[in-house]
């Protein structure tokens, strides 16, 4: 029998946390408004893809050592939807092995990290098979098609996804790097993720995006997001922490307000989400430490602060905030450098 060519590639890619939120999409995974995020570091996916020549396309997906067709279905669908871009897949069998560095039940969305890690592997395979060199813009474009917010995970430090007149080169099709357009204070920012609940959310992000279509506040929201992008980009550049805090907290609350006034309405915050928000605001008032919160589409609270405040804030987390966390759980993360090749 002829020897089959077997090869393996591996990439890790981080999760990201949005400051101006992407909430609402149109047509083929295009955003209704631009969004900006910090690229994280400790919360990431590590993905390996083995491929071998075959007479047709084959696909198997293993998550944390166990075959998991349900998790793999989204990637397989992405590959089938985009097979014209990767014609060499017609005669390849892929085996994907993926794991997350953050605990399974931490309520941290893993689609941004897992989809961008997979896309980086796919770009690497394209490089090995057809000699197609890839850039981060292409990786961001395909990550976006796999899972919207994943478009932002491929860039170090910070990324902007969505066209805005305030940033040349920005696009709805892919994210762009903000690493050279931010004040040094943001390059080492901390994100302590306070785990209020590790349960799976009752309404998926996918359903949440879809509900924006009938939301009476949608046009006002998209206008406001565009304004917030403009103000935030300026604050990121100058290092204006007061404006950063104002916009970031308002965006988090707006995201959840949109859920509360969609039809049907729903609430993803838990009582301890609000308790943490109140504690954080009081602590900021008392100490003048410029920390603030943001929320993803879930109950957990992301506590954002400059690295220089880390000692004081972490003391405060351990002594006060953990009381509101599920089994005292929190994850110490910080702004990171984007995807990394593993092999």
| Binding positions for ligand PMV, rule: CB under 6 A | 18, 21-23, 35, 109, 111, 147-149, 205, 209, 255, 296-297
Q: How far is the CB of 133 from ligand PMV (least distance, A)?
A: 27
* Contact partners, residue 285, CB within 8 Å, separation at least 6: none
User: Concatenated DSSP letters for 257-323?
Assistant: HHHHTSSS------HHHHHHHHHHHHHHHHH----EEEE-SSS-EEEEE-GGGHHHHHHHHHHTGGG
Report, in Å, the least distance between residue 204 CB and ligand PMV. Answer: 8
Pick between residue 75 and residue 255 the one whose CB is nearest to ligand PMV.
Answer: 255
First to last CA, the chain: 29
Residues forming a β-bridge with 190: 305, 334
Distance in Å, CB of 270 to ligand PMV, minimum = 16
Q: What whole-number distance in Å separates Cα of residue 282 and Cα of residue 288?
A: 10
Tell me the closest approach of the beta carbon of residue 235 to ligand PMV, in angstroms: 18
- For the bound state, the minimum distance from the C-beta of residue 111 to ligand PMV, rounded and expressed in Å, comes to 5
Cα–Cα distance for residue pair 267/263, rounded to 1 Å: 12
Residue closer to ligand PMV by CB (options 9, 236) is 236
Residue 19 or 49 with smaller CB distance to ligand PMV = 19
Select 90 or 227, whichever has its Cβ closest to ligand PMV: 227
Percentage helix, strand, coil for the chain under 3-state DSSP, each rounded to 5: 45, 25, 30
Q: Which is nearer to ligand PMV, 35 or 41 (CB)?
A: 35
In the complex, least distance from residue 121 CB atom to ligand PMV, rounded to whole angstroms: 19
Cα–Cα distance list, 198 to 24, 117, 193, 312 (Å): 25, 23, 12, 26
Q: Which is nearer to ligand PMV, 39 or 111 (CB)?
A: 111
Dist CA 111 CA 73 (whole Å): 13
What the block records as the tokens of 68 is 């998991």
């Amino acid at each position: 029998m002829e020897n089959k060519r077997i090869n393996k590639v591996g990439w890790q890619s981080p999760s990201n946390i949005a400051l101006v939120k992407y909430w609402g999409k149109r047509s083929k995974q295009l955003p209704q408004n631009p969004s900006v995020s910090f690229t994280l570091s400790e919360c990431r996916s590590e993905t390996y893809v083995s491929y071998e020549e075959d007479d047709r396309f084959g696909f198997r997906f293993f998550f944390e050592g166990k075959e998991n067709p349900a998790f793999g279905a989204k990637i397989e669908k992405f590959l089938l939807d985009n097979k014209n871009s990767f014609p060499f897949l017609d005669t390849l069998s892929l085996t994907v092995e993926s794991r997350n560095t953050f605990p399974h039940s931490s309520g941290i969305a893993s689609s941004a990290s897992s989809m961008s890690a997979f896309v980086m592997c796919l770009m690497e395979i394209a490089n090995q098979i057809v000699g197609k060199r890839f850039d981060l813009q292409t990786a961001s474009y395909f990550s976006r098609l796999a899972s919207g917010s994943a478009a932002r995970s491929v860039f170090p430090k910070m990324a902007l996804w969505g066209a805005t007149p305030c940033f040349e080169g920005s696009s709805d099709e892919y994210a762009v790097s903000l690493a050279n357009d931010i004040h040094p204070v943001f390059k080492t920012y901390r994100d302590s993720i306070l785990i209020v609940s590790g349960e799976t959310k009752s309404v998926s992000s996918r359903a949440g995006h879809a509900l924006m279509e009938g939301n009476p506040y949608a046009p006002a929201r998209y206008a406001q997001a565009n304004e917030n992008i403009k103000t935030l980009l300026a604050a990121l550049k100058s290092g204006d922490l007061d404006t950063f805090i104002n916009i970031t907290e308002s965006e988090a609350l707006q995201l959840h307000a949109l859920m509360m006034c969609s039809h049907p309405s729903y609430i993803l915050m838990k009582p301890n989400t609000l308790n943490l928000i109140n504690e954080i605001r009081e602590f900021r008032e008392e100490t003048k430490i410029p920390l603030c919160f943001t929320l993803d589409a879930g109950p957990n609270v992301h506590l954002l602060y400059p690295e220089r405040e880390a000692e004081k804030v972490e003391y405060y987390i351990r002594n006060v905030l953990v009381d509101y966390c599920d089994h005292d759980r929190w994850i110490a993360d910080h702004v990171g450098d984007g995807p990394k090749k593993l092999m």
